[in-house]
Amino acid sequence: MGNNVKVKNVTRIPQLKQTLKELKSYAVEVGIFGDGEYVMIARVHEFGMTIRTKKANINIPERSFMRSTFDEKQDSWTKFVKKQLPLVLESKLDARTLCERLGALMVGDIQKKITDIKSPPNAPSTIAQKGSSNPLIELGGLRQRITYRVVSR
């Protein structure tokens, strides 16, 4: 943010301080929450895993969709917030709504990444089992379970 904020009306300084305090009081969390099957599936694909069975080792390669999206989109998410910030400072948008909008944007970008990942490809046996060559798309809905929440710090 730096020195880009211009104060035109000094009588609003207490309100601006309160708005900035409110902005700092929120955080946006994005992912699949809980401890269910899809949390495990997401973790396996995000980091990769080798499953050892009595018959063979099954290697599931890393297909990062969370970390890689964060790395790729961090600058555009920052620009989005900077563009919305004047609305918050002018009391045309509240801090929580800004966080909600950012969360929705992040979810959309991560879902797009899940859809777009093609490499490393599924093994032929996996394609036959699930009926799709897209590594992260299956009938159960990993993509649909990506969500966000705005939390108080």
Q: Is the pTM of this model over 0.95?
A: no
Confidence at residue 139, expressed as pLDDT on a 0 to 100 scale: 52
**Which pLDDT band holds residue 9 (cuts at 50, 70, 90)?**
low
Confidence at residue 131, expressed as pLDDT on a 0 to 100 scale: 74
Mean pLDDT computed over every residue of the chain: 88
142: three-class secondary structure by DSSP:
coil
Q: d(Cα 5, Cα 13) in Å, to the nearest integer?
A: 12
Confidence at residue 87, expressed as pLDDT on a 0 to 100 scale: 93
Q: How many CB atoms lie within 10 A of CB 148?
A: 19
Rounded mean pLDDT of 26-51?
93
Task: Look up residue 115 and give its two tokens.
Answer: 């859809």
Residue 6 exposed, middle or buried by CB count within 10 Å (0-12, 13-18, 19+): exposed
Confidence at residue 125, expressed as pLDDT on a 0 to 100 scale: 80
